[in-house]
Each structure stands twice: as structure tokens, then as C-alpha cells.
Amino acid sequence: MIVFLFGFILLFITVLQAFTPKLLKQTEAFGVYVPEQYAKEQTIIAYKKRYTAVVLTLGIILLAVYIIWALTQSPTEETLSLFSIGVQFCILFIGLGYYFMMHVRVKRLKEEQGWTTGKKEVRVVDLQFQAKLQLIPRIVFIIPMIITVGLIIYTFMKYAQMPDMIPTHWGPSGQPDAFSEKTYFSVVSMPLILLVMQGMFLMMSEGMKFAGAKINPANKKTSVSQQLAFRKYSSWFALFMAITMTLMMGYFHLQTIHPEIGSAWVMFALPLVFLVLTFLAVGIYIVKVGQSGSRLKIEEDSPSLEDKIAVDDDKYWKGGIIYINKDDPSILVEKRFGIGWTLNFGRPLSWIVLFGPLILILVIAFSL
């Protein structure tokens, strides 16, 4: 069962990586801006097909080797988990390595064919864009955080009744395999981590309010509609993750206070259900929405293929993945390769947003 669970995760990662180029808007290819006039360049289409074929093939080969090894060698759960993580990183590195190869090729093609030469760069601004946003209200994200604070208070109330050793980790079988001595800090470590993660989802939703919209000057109406829908669905996805994570981690914590409500079967099944629901949500999100709402069916206006193009900001994208622009007030920016958002590392606040929660989680985890 565990072998096929890890196998499913590996397959999901492989398929997601392989088909990523097909989920992005046509004006971006392997982290490079492509003007509307060249969006259907045959060389770019060939590069995307080749990337999908190579990553998918190598990923499936690795997956097959992993399953054969796991079924024939009968490794322990710990060895299986470590090997599975190693294979996952291998698949990620394969996709990332081939991505950089394609990034260099598309960038060279852009320079050789002079896609931006002689074109007037235009930055389109919709002054009503913020008013049109349909994000989840802030209070909806705060409610799970209030519940978590209540759980922390309840834990302190029940402190005397809790066991002397608190489980802090559960193995694939659902049985606890790591414990920490009971202290006022250790008993609330899990709710504290949950609170930090809830805060991250809140910041993600709030950050989209102030993220600049990259509107395509050749297709303004469609671009605005897709951008608005992309933010709306991203906000709903963040809320879904916050709620499901609160339910799962809240139950884990409650069973340390009330062991009678816990069972090995539930502890095994709950993370599995959470994982399946997360994969389903991610799958629906990327297939229905795509990056920047590119897969949403919008009544398109007629593209204008004049000598006007969007502002070419390739210089701010390092490798097409890391965005550094100190003149851009946005903290969150849309990814160029992949689905979702990344940070503008040209703004000091972005470093706090990235490392602040990470440091808090590590401090809590290593203090146990």
C-alpha cells in the first residue's frame, strides 16, 4: 500500500512537470517573454513537445525502477520513505535541468529573430482592476486561526491530564514514532506550526490584492478577465488548503489530549485522504485555470498584432524563475514557469515573508 502511495506521488510529480509548458499562457515559454506575434512559432511548439516527451519518459522509467525495487527488495518503511524522497528529487532535478536547457534555447531564438526589435513596449494599466477582484474576505482566513488559538488555550486547560511524553511524529503506518517530553511549549508545538501555516495562506490571499496585473496589450479584455479569474481561484485554493490542513492537524493534536478518539487506522487514513484531496484540488486547479487563467474559457476579443508589445521584463527574471525588481512594488508575482505565485526578491519584505515563517517552523520543530 505504501509503495503504491509513494508511486502515485511520483507519477503526479512527473506528469505535472512534463505538461507544465502546456498549462502556461502562450506569451511565456520556459521563463522567456514571447510577444503575441511569435506565440505560435513552430520552434517553440517543438521545444514544448520535446520537453514533455523527455521529462515524461525519464520520469516513468524512474518510477518503474522504483516500484520494481520496492516490490522485490521489501525494504523497511524508513528505507522506503528515504528512497522515495530521493527519487522525487531526481525527477524534480531532471525537469529543472531540462527546463534550463530549453530556457537558454528560447532566449537565444528570441535574440536571433529579434522578436522585440523595432517594437514599441506598452504597459497596460486597468485602474478598476483592484475593485473588480473577487478574493476570499480576510475574515474567512482568520476564522481557522481563531480556532487554532482556541485549541492552544484548550490544551493549556488540559495540560495536567496529558501524558508525560507527547507524540511529535507519526510513521507511514499511523503509529507514533517520535516523542517529546511534556512541557508547556511541546504540548502546543503542533497548533503553533499550524498557526504559522494559516498565516502564510492568509498572506498569499492578501498579497494578490497588491500584485501587479500583467495585461497583454494585444488582447486586453481577455487578459484582464483571465487575471481576475486566476486570482479568484487562487484565493479559493489557498482557503481550501488552510481548512483541510486545520482539520487534519487539529485532529492529530486533539488525539494527544484525548487518546481515546485516536486509532492507528484513522492516523494512517487521514493523511492519505488529505493527500488525495490536495492532489485532486491541484489537478482541478491547474487543468481548469492554468497559469494566469490561460486555460479559462473567456470570450476573446480580436488580438491586435501591431508593433506594440507588452513590456519585456526578462532582465528581472533570473533563469526565468527568480524575480528581482526593486522598482516593482508587488511582493507576489505570477510565476513564469509553473502554476501559482512567487516572490519579488527585489523587495526586502519578500525575504521576511519567505524566511520568517520558515524560521518560526524550524525553531518550533527543533525546540522539541
Cell matching residue 313: 521584463
Q: How far apart are CA 294 and CA 362, in angstroms?
A: 36
125 with 175: CB under 8 angstroms?
no
Position 178, amino acid? A
Residue 26: per-residue pLDDT: 83
Work out the pLDDT band at 119, boundaries 50, 70, 90.
confident
**Percentage of residues of the chain with pLDDT beyond 90:** 36
Predicted structure pTM score = 0.84
The closest alpha carbon to 307, from 179, 119, 156, belongs to 119
Q: Give the tens place of pLDDT for each residue, 128-156.
A: 888 888 899 999 999 999 999 999 999 99
The closest alpha carbon to 1, from 65, 67, 61, belongs to 67
10 with 279: CB under 8 angstroms?
no
Q: How far apart are CA 199 and CA 248, in angstroms?
A: 17
Q: How far apart are CA 65 and CA 77, in angstroms?
A: 18
121 with 92: CB under 8 angstroms?
no
Tell me the domain boundaries of the chain: 1-117, 122-368
Residue at grid coordinates 519584505: 349
Greater confidence (318 vs 129) lies with 318
Work out the pLDDT band at 73, boundaries 50, 70, 90.
confident
Residue 175: per-residue pLDDT: 66
Residue 299: per-residue pLDDT: 61
Helical pair 189-207 and 138-157, crossing angle rounded to 10 deg: 170
Helical pair 77-113 and 42-73, crossing angle rounded to 10 deg: 170
Q: Which residues contact 78 (CB under 8 A, 6 or more apart)?
A: none
Chain-centre distance of CA 115, in angstroms?
A: 31
Work out the pLDDT band at 177, boundaries 50, 70, 90.
low
Greater confidence (180 vs 20) lies with 20
Residue 78: per-residue pLDDT: 76
Cell matching residue 14: 512527473
Mean pLDDT of 40-56: 93
16 with 338: CB under 8 angstroms?
no
Work out the pLDDT band at 1, boundaries 50, 70, 90.
low
Q: Give the tens place of pLDDT for each residue, 262-311.
A: 777 777 778 888 888 888 888 888 888 887 777 777 665 555 556 677 78
Mean pLDDT of 92-105: 94
